[in-house]
Amino acid sequence: MDQLQAMQVFVRVCESGSFTHASDVLGISRAAASNAIQQLEGQLQTRLLNRTTRHVQLTADGQTYFERCIRLLADFAETQVLFQQSDQKPHGKLRVDVPSRIARCVIVPALPNFFERYPDIELQLDVTDRQIDLFREGVDCVVRGGQSQDHNLISVNLGMLAQSNCASPSYIDHYGLPLAIEDLERHWMVSYASPLTGQVYDWEYQRNGILKTISLKSRLTVNNVEAYIASAIAGLGLIQIPSYDVAAEIKQGMLMPVLLDFPPDKLQLNILYPRWRQLSQPVKVFTAWMREQFALRMV
Protein backbone atom coordinates (compact mmCIF):
# COMPACT_ATOMS: atom_id res chain seq x y z
CA MET A 1 0.00 0.00 0.00
CA ASP A 2 1.48 3.38 -1.01
CA GLN A 3 1.64 6.31 1.39
CA LEU A 4 -1.36 8.11 -0.11
CA GLN A 5 -3.55 5.03 0.33
CA ALA A 6 -2.24 4.60 3.86
CA MET A 7 -3.16 8.21 4.63
CA GLN A 8 -6.68 7.58 3.33
CA VAL A 9 -6.97 4.54 5.59
CA PHE A 10 -5.68 6.58 8.55
CA VAL A 11 -8.25 9.33 7.97
CA ARG A 12 -11.09 6.83 7.66
CA VAL A 13 -10.04 5.10 10.89
CA CYS A 14 -9.91 8.45 12.69
CA GLU A 15 -13.31 9.56 11.37
CA SER A 16 -15.09 6.29 12.17
CA GLY A 17 -13.19 5.53 15.38
CA SER A 18 -12.91 1.92 14.29
CA PHE A 19 -10.63 -0.24 12.15
CA THR A 20 -13.60 -2.45 11.34
CA HIS A 21 -15.80 0.38 10.08
CA ALA A 22 -12.94 1.90 8.08
CA SER A 23 -12.01 -1.40 6.44
CA ASP A 24 -15.67 -2.13 5.56
CA VAL A 25 -16.10 1.27 3.86
CA LEU A 26 -12.78 1.01 2.02
CA GLY A 27 -13.33 -2.60 0.98
CA ILE A 28 -10.13 -3.92 2.55
CA SER A 29 -9.42 -6.34 5.37
CA ARG A 30 -9.05 -5.18 8.95
CA ALA A 31 -5.50 -6.53 8.91
CA ALA A 32 -4.67 -4.40 5.86
CA ALA A 33 -6.04 -1.31 7.61
CA SER A 34 -4.00 -2.07 10.72
CA ASN A 35 -0.87 -2.67 8.63
CA ALA A 36 -1.37 0.68 6.86
CA ILE A 37 -1.36 2.53 10.19
CA GLN A 38 1.70 0.61 11.36
CA GLN A 39 3.41 1.53 8.08
CA LEU A 40 2.73 5.22 8.68
CA GLU A 41 3.85 5.06 12.30
CA GLY A 42 7.06 3.35 11.19
CA GLN A 43 7.77 6.00 8.55
CA LEU A 44 6.99 8.87 10.92
CA GLN A 45 8.63 7.16 13.92
CA THR A 46 5.78 8.15 16.23
CA ARG A 47 2.58 6.63 17.54
CA LEU A 48 -0.52 8.06 15.83
CA LEU A 49 -3.24 6.08 17.58
CA ASN A 50 -3.83 4.58 20.98
CA ARG A 51 -5.72 1.32 20.46
CA THR A 52 -8.04 -0.55 22.80
CA THR A 53 -10.27 -3.55 22.15
CA ARG A 54 -13.23 -1.22 21.40
CA HIS A 55 -11.88 2.20 20.47
CA VAL A 56 -9.03 4.01 18.79
CA GLN A 57 -7.95 7.44 19.99
CA LEU A 58 -5.63 9.97 18.40
CA THR A 59 -2.39 10.83 20.12
CA ALA A 60 -1.17 14.45 20.08
CA ASP A 61 1.04 13.66 17.07
CA GLY A 62 -1.83 11.74 15.51
CA GLN A 63 -4.13 14.77 15.77
CA THR A 64 -1.55 16.98 14.05
CA TYR A 65 -0.99 14.40 11.32
CA PHE A 66 -4.75 13.91 10.85
CA GLU A 67 -5.28 17.64 10.24
CA ARG A 68 -2.44 17.67 7.70
CA CYS A 69 -3.81 14.58 5.97
CA ILE A 70 -7.25 16.19 5.61
CA ARG A 71 -5.73 19.16 3.77
CA LEU A 72 -3.43 17.04 1.60
CA LEU A 73 -6.17 14.62 0.58
CA ALA A 74 -8.55 17.52 -0.19
CA ASP A 75 -5.90 19.08 -2.43
CA PHE A 76 -5.30 15.74 -4.12
CA ALA A 77 -9.02 15.20 -4.74
CA GLU A 78 -9.38 18.70 -6.18
CA THR A 79 -6.42 18.12 -8.50
CA GLN A 80 -7.93 14.84 -9.73
CA VAL A 81 -11.23 16.54 -10.54
CA LEU A 82 -9.48 19.23 -12.60
CA PHE A 83 -8.28 16.61 -15.08
CA GLN A 84 -11.37 14.45 -15.34
CA GLN A 85 -12.79 14.18 -18.82
CA SER A 86 -15.64 16.70 -18.99
CA ASP A 87 -17.44 14.62 -21.61
CA GLN A 88 -17.35 11.42 -19.55
CA LYS A 89 -20.86 10.18 -18.92
CA PRO A 90 -21.69 10.22 -15.18
CA HIS A 91 -22.00 6.70 -13.83
CA GLY A 92 -21.68 4.67 -10.67
CA LYS A 93 -23.37 4.42 -7.29
CA LEU A 94 -24.49 7.44 -5.31
CA ARG A 95 -25.75 7.33 -1.73
CA VAL A 96 -27.53 10.46 -0.53
CA ASP A 97 -29.23 11.20 2.80
CA VAL A 98 -32.11 13.72 2.71
CA PRO A 99 -34.80 14.96 5.10
CA SER A 100 -38.12 13.13 4.78
CA ARG A 101 -40.21 16.07 3.59
CA ILE A 102 -37.68 17.10 0.92
CA ALA A 103 -37.60 13.50 -0.29
CA ARG A 104 -41.38 13.27 -0.47
CA CYS A 105 -42.23 16.70 -1.89
CA VAL A 106 -39.24 17.52 -4.08
CA ILE A 107 -36.80 14.74 -4.89
CA VAL A 108 -38.87 11.59 -5.45
CA PRO A 109 -41.48 13.22 -7.74
CA ALA A 110 -38.65 14.60 -9.91
CA LEU A 111 -36.50 11.43 -10.04
CA PRO A 112 -37.83 10.29 -13.45
CA ASN A 113 -36.20 13.43 -14.86
CA PHE A 114 -32.94 12.67 -13.04
CA PHE A 115 -32.73 9.10 -14.36
CA GLU A 116 -33.66 10.24 -17.85
CA ARG A 117 -30.61 12.49 -17.79
CA TYR A 118 -28.29 10.12 -15.93
CA PRO A 119 -29.38 6.54 -16.67
CA ASP A 120 -26.03 5.09 -15.55
CA ILE A 121 -26.22 6.41 -11.98
CA GLU A 122 -27.54 4.02 -9.33
CA LEU A 123 -29.04 6.08 -6.50
CA GLN A 124 -29.56 4.98 -2.90
CA LEU A 125 -31.80 7.54 -1.22
CA ASP A 126 -31.67 7.41 2.58
CA VAL A 127 -34.54 9.36 4.14
CA THR A 128 -33.84 10.56 7.68
CA ASP A 129 -34.38 13.67 9.80
CA ARG A 130 -31.55 12.91 12.20
CA GLN A 131 -27.87 13.73 12.50
CA ILE A 132 -25.85 11.12 10.63
CA ASP A 133 -22.15 10.31 10.44
CA LEU A 134 -21.28 10.34 6.74
CA PHE A 135 -18.02 8.51 7.32
CA ARG A 136 -19.34 5.75 9.56
CA GLU A 137 -22.47 5.18 7.45
CA GLY A 138 -20.77 5.39 4.06
CA VAL A 139 -22.93 8.22 2.70
CA ASP A 140 -21.58 10.29 -0.21
CA CYS A 141 -23.46 13.49 0.61
CA VAL A 142 -26.37 14.82 2.67
CA VAL A 143 -28.97 17.54 2.12
CA ARG A 144 -29.55 19.68 5.21
CA GLY A 145 -30.92 23.06 6.17
CA GLY A 146 -28.86 25.60 8.11
CA GLN A 147 -25.14 26.05 8.57
CA SER A 148 -22.87 23.07 9.28
CA GLN A 149 -20.33 23.41 12.09
CA ASP A 150 -18.37 20.32 10.98
CA HIS A 151 -15.07 21.51 9.50
CA ASN A 152 -14.49 18.09 7.93
CA LEU A 153 -17.40 18.71 5.54
CA ILE A 154 -17.66 20.91 2.46
CA SER A 155 -20.97 22.81 2.30
CA VAL A 156 -22.46 23.73 -1.08
CA ASN A 157 -25.33 26.22 -0.85
CA LEU A 158 -28.38 25.18 -2.86
CA GLY A 159 -30.18 28.44 -2.13
CA MET A 160 -32.44 30.12 0.39
CA LEU A 161 -35.92 28.71 1.04
CA ALA A 162 -38.74 31.14 1.73
CA GLN A 163 -40.75 30.29 4.86
CA SER A 164 -44.35 30.97 5.81
CA ASN A 165 -46.45 31.49 8.92
CA CYS A 166 -49.45 29.16 8.83
CA ALA A 167 -52.54 28.14 10.78
CA SER A 168 -55.59 26.02 10.11
CA PRO A 169 -59.05 27.51 9.51
CA SER A 170 -60.28 25.78 12.67
CA TYR A 171 -57.53 27.45 14.70
CA ILE A 172 -58.40 30.88 13.24
CA ASP A 173 -62.09 30.31 14.00
CA HIS A 174 -61.24 29.56 17.63
CA TYR A 175 -58.48 32.10 18.38
CA GLY A 176 -58.95 34.76 15.72
CA LEU A 177 -56.71 35.92 12.89
CA PRO A 178 -53.44 37.54 14.08
CA LEU A 179 -52.76 40.74 12.15
CA ALA A 180 -49.73 42.09 14.02
CA ILE A 181 -46.93 40.72 16.19
CA GLU A 182 -48.62 42.22 19.26
CA ASP A 183 -51.63 39.95 18.58
CA LEU A 184 -49.49 36.86 19.21
CA GLU A 185 -49.75 37.35 22.97
CA ARG A 186 -53.08 35.53 22.89
CA HIS A 187 -52.02 32.81 20.45
CA TRP A 188 -50.44 29.35 20.66
CA MET A 189 -47.63 27.91 18.57
CA VAL A 190 -46.59 24.35 17.88
CA SER A 191 -42.95 24.16 18.97
CA TYR A 192 -40.42 22.45 16.71
CA ALA A 193 -37.30 20.76 18.09
CA SER A 194 -34.56 20.17 15.53
CA PRO A 195 -33.98 16.42 15.08
CA LEU A 196 -30.33 17.27 14.36
CA THR A 197 -29.53 19.44 17.38
CA GLY A 198 -32.55 19.21 19.70
CA GLN A 199 -32.87 23.00 19.68
CA VAL A 200 -36.42 24.31 20.17
CA TYR A 201 -36.98 27.44 18.12
CA ASP A 202 -38.75 30.64 19.17
CA TRP A 203 -41.15 32.42 16.82
CA GLU A 204 -39.24 34.42 14.19
CA TYR A 205 -40.36 37.55 12.38
CA GLN A 206 -38.85 40.33 10.33
CA ARG A 207 -39.69 43.96 10.96
CA ASN A 208 -38.08 46.70 8.85
CA GLY A 209 -35.57 44.19 7.54
CA ILE A 210 -34.42 43.14 11.02
CA LEU A 211 -34.87 39.56 12.22
CA LYS A 212 -36.35 39.23 15.71
CA THR A 213 -37.71 36.43 17.87
CA ILE A 214 -40.37 36.17 20.56
CA SER A 215 -41.51 33.35 22.81
CA LEU A 216 -45.09 32.19 22.30
CA LYS A 217 -47.21 29.90 24.42
CA SER A 218 -46.86 26.25 23.44
CA ARG A 219 -48.26 23.00 24.79
CA LEU A 220 -46.87 20.71 22.10
CA THR A 221 -43.32 20.14 20.82
CA VAL A 222 -42.52 17.84 17.88
CA ASN A 223 -39.28 16.94 16.08
CA ASN A 224 -40.71 15.70 12.80
CA VAL A 225 -41.99 17.84 9.93
CA GLU A 226 -44.92 15.56 9.12
CA ALA A 227 -46.08 15.77 12.75
CA TYR A 228 -45.48 19.52 12.72
CA ILE A 229 -47.78 20.03 9.73
CA ALA A 230 -50.38 17.58 11.07
CA SER A 231 -50.43 19.47 14.38
CA ALA A 232 -51.18 22.73 12.59
CA ILE A 233 -53.93 21.13 10.52
CA ALA A 234 -55.44 19.79 13.74
CA GLY A 235 -55.70 23.35 15.05
CA LEU A 236 -53.08 22.98 17.78
CA GLY A 237 -51.23 26.18 16.99
CA LEU A 238 -49.35 28.39 14.54
CA ILE A 239 -46.31 27.05 12.69
CA GLN A 240 -43.42 28.45 10.66
CA ILE A 241 -42.24 26.23 7.83
CA PRO A 242 -40.65 26.36 4.34
CA SER A 243 -43.34 27.52 1.93
CA TYR A 244 -42.93 24.58 -0.46
CA ASP A 245 -43.63 22.20 2.43
CA VAL A 246 -47.23 23.36 2.82
CA ALA A 247 -48.09 24.48 -0.71
CA ALA A 248 -50.45 21.53 -1.22
CA GLU A 249 -52.10 21.96 2.19
CA ILE A 250 -52.70 25.66 1.53
CA LYS A 251 -54.11 24.94 -1.92
CA GLN A 252 -56.50 22.36 -0.41
CA GLY A 253 -57.63 24.80 2.28
CA MET A 254 -56.26 22.77 5.19
CA LEU A 255 -53.86 25.59 6.14
CA MET A 256 -53.78 29.31 5.45
CA PRO A 257 -50.93 31.84 5.51
CA VAL A 258 -51.00 34.42 8.31
CA LEU A 259 -48.91 37.47 9.25
CA LEU A 260 -47.72 37.92 5.67
CA ASP A 261 -46.03 41.21 6.58
CA PHE A 262 -43.92 39.50 9.25
CA PRO A 263 -42.31 36.45 7.62
CA PRO A 264 -39.64 34.30 9.27
CA ASP A 265 -36.10 34.35 7.94
CA LYS A 266 -35.28 32.32 4.85
CA LEU A 267 -33.72 28.91 5.43
CA GLN A 268 -30.39 28.09 3.80
CA LEU A 269 -30.32 24.67 2.15
CA ASN A 270 -27.00 22.88 1.62
CA ILE A 271 -25.43 19.73 0.26
CA LEU A 272 -22.60 18.49 2.48
CA TYR A 273 -19.85 16.04 1.58
CA PRO A 274 -16.52 15.03 3.18
CA ARG A 275 -13.77 17.60 2.70
CA TRP A 276 -11.06 15.21 1.67
CA ARG A 277 -13.09 12.87 -0.52
CA GLN A 278 -12.83 13.30 -4.26
CA LEU A 279 -15.97 14.99 -5.56
CA SER A 280 -17.31 12.36 -7.93
CA GLN A 281 -19.27 13.09 -11.07
CA PRO A 282 -22.48 11.61 -9.56
CA VAL A 283 -22.24 14.00 -6.60
CA LYS A 284 -21.53 16.94 -8.92
CA VAL A 285 -24.46 16.29 -11.24
CA PHE A 286 -26.80 15.54 -8.32
CA THR A 287 -25.84 18.86 -6.73
CA ALA A 288 -26.51 20.74 -9.97
CA TRP A 289 -29.81 18.91 -10.44
CA MET A 290 -30.90 19.73 -6.90
CA ARG A 291 -30.22 23.42 -7.55
CA GLU A 292 -32.60 23.21 -10.49
CA GLN A 293 -35.31 21.54 -8.42
CA PHE A 294 -35.21 24.28 -5.79
CA ALA A 295 -34.76 27.20 -8.19
CA LEU A 296 -38.53 27.88 -8.22
CA ARG A 297 -38.82 27.35 -4.47
CA MET A 298 -36.30 29.96 -3.42
CA VAL A 299 -38.64 32.94 -3.70
Return d(Cα 53, Cα 196) in angstroms, integer.
30
Q: Is the pLDDT score of 295 beyond 90?
A: no
pLDDT exceeds cutoff 80 at 86 = no
| 268 beta partners | 160
Strands 92-98 and 141-145: parallel
Distance CA 224, CA 49 (A): 39
**CA angle at 38 for the pair 48 and 46, rounded to the nearest 5°:** 40
Distances (CA, A) of 137 to 87, 132, 208: 31, 8, 44
Average pLDDT over residues 197-224: 91
113 or 132, higher pLDDT: 113
Which of 241, 252, 142 is CA-nearest to residue 201?
241
Evaluate whether 105 touches 143 at the Cβ level (below 8 Å): no
pLDDT in tens, 121-170: 999 999 987 777 776 777 888 998 877 666 677 788 888 888 999 999 99
Does pTM top 0.85 for this prediction? no
Amino acid at the residue 273: Y
Return left, alpha or beta for 121; rule: phi > 0 is left, psi -120 to 50 is alpha, else beta.
beta
**CA-to-CA distance for 133 and 137, rounded, in angstroms?**
6
Report pLDDT digits (tens) over 10-49: 888 887 788 888 888 788 888 898 899 999 999 999 999 9
Mean pLDDT confidence for 207-236: 93
> Is a pLDDT exceeding 90 seen at residue 173?
yes
Residue 82 pairs in a beta bridge with: none
Contacts of 182 (CB under 8 A, 6+ apart): none
